């Protein structure tokens, strides 16, 4: 998926946060050392888990809502192929970005692609995973993932507010543990976005989310 969807300028995501540039993230080795589950690509294990859940003959999980353009379609195609390998059927449905976001806001989807830059701090994810009271929901607040998990919310709040750095690290491990256990969102890859400055280096399409090496060229 990293090669097909992002021209090789990405790394596999074993957890929600990129350990290279996000405070509150950890490498797979660090997570394992703290007894946090790390999910690796393992089709045979996936088949066994499906059989254990009563889907030995596979299943149909509906539609994968996908933003039409950029790397999203390629990412979903690879994901669809991965699912097919373990006997799971999914259809890709393309929407423009606004439609896709509205469906996520309304929680009207089977699976939906989304992505964001979590740098430089894992607390950014709180807006996606926070718990909302009835009053907050009535006021119009929403989260796209909408887990309504009080334990996760409390873990985020503690990690974001603890004044002791060593304890805060343990707090973020707990946030990672809950997110890995519950799998409210499936991380696939971490984008690598190159930045460079040189007066002779030209990029005619500047976009902070979608840099590609082949869009850069030397003026001289």
Q: Is residue 149 in some structural domain?
A: yes
> Is 172's pLDDT higher than 70?
yes
Q: Is residue 100 in some structural domain?
A: yes
The continuous run of DSSP H or E covering 191 comes out as strand 189-191
Q: What is the mean pLDDT of residues 52-74?
A: 94
Q: Is residue 201 in some structural domain?
A: no
Check residue 191 and give its pLDDT: 85
Q: Is residue 200 in some structural domain?
A: no
- Tell me which residue range forms the domain holding 143: 2-190
pLDDT band at 114 (very low <50, low <70, confident <90, very high): confident
The overall average pLDDT reported for the chain is: 91
Where in 87-171 does DSSP place strands (E)?
88-95, 111-112
Q: Is residue 216 in some structural domain?
A: no
Q: Is residue 214 in some structural domain?
A: no
Torsion (CA) 172, 173, 179, 185 in degrees, nearest 10: 70
Domain count, the chain: 1
The proportion of the chain whose per-residue pLDDT surpasses 90, expressed as a percent, equals 76
Q: Is residue 44 in some structural domain?
A: yes
Please state the φ and ψ torsions of residue 64, each to the nearest 5 degrees: -105, 105
Q: Is residue 212 in some structural domain?
A: no
Q: What is the mean pLDDT of residues 150-164?
A: 97
CATH of the domain at 104: 3.10.105.10
């Amino acid at each position: 998926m990293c090669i097909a969807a992002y021209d090789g300028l990405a790394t596999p995501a074993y957890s929600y946060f990129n350990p290279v540039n996000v405070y509150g993230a950890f490498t797979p080795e660090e997570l394992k050392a703290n007894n946090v589950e790390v999910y690796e690509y393992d089709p045979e294990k996936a088949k066994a888990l499906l059989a254990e859940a009563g889907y030995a003959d596979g299943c149909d999980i509906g539609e994968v809502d996908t933003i039409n353009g950029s790397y999203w379609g390629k990412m979903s195609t690879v994901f669809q192929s991965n699912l097919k390998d373990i006997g799971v059927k999914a259809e890709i449905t393309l929407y423009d970005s606004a439609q896709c976001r509205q469906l996520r806001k309304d929680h009207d989807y089977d699976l939906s692609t989304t992505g964001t830059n979590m740098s430089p701090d894992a607390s950014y994810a709180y807006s996606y995973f926070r718990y909302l009271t009835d009053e907050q929901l009535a006021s119009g607040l929403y989260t796209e993932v909408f887990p309504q998990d009080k334990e996760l919310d409390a873990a985020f709040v503690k990690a974001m507010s603890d004044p002791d750095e060593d304890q805060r690290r343990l707090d973020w491990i707990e946030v990672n543990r809950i997110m890995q256990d519950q799998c409210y969102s499936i991380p696939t890859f971490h984008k690598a976005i190159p930045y460079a400055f040189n007066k002779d280096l030209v990029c005619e399409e500047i976009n902070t989310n979608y840099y590609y090496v082949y869009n850069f060229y030397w003026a001289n």
